[in-house]
Amino acid sequence: MPIAVVQDWAEGGNDTTTYDAIHDRVMASGTPDGFRMDAAGATPDGGFRIFEVWESQDHFDRFTEERLMPILRDIGAGSDPPKLTTYELHEYIAT
């Protein structure tokens, strides 16, 4: 069952340098298994929101542990983790 993953970061809306660096490193080793889409941007309060769709919760969890967290540790990001919301999608259509 596909899931939505919403990350709300308190900061970063005015400077996407960290997001861009993480995204570049994640994608440098190919599209993660189970990854379907990513959309990101500033929020009105100066934060940063990332919305993703994953094939399953297991795919997202595996990606986070095996790929994302090592990158965050390497660049010194993630000391103030985002508010994370996940939920199963009733439907997902990509064109």
Establish if 65 belongs to a structural domain: yes
Name the residue range of residue 10's domain.
3-88
Cα distance between residue 58 and residue 83, in whole Å: 19
Please choose, from the candidates 36, 35, 41, 51, the residue with its C-alpha nearest in 3D space to the C-alpha of residue 13.
Answer: 41
Q: Looking at the predicted structure, is the pLDDT value of residue 34 above 80?
A: yes
Q: What is the pLDDT of residues 59-89, one digit of tens each?
A: 999 999 999 999 988 887 766 788 999 999 9
Question: Does residue 77 lie within any of the structural domains?
Answer: yes
Domain membership of residue 93 (yes or no) is no
Tally of domains within the chain: 1
CATH number at residue 8: 3.30.70.100
Average pLDDT value over all residues in the chain: 90
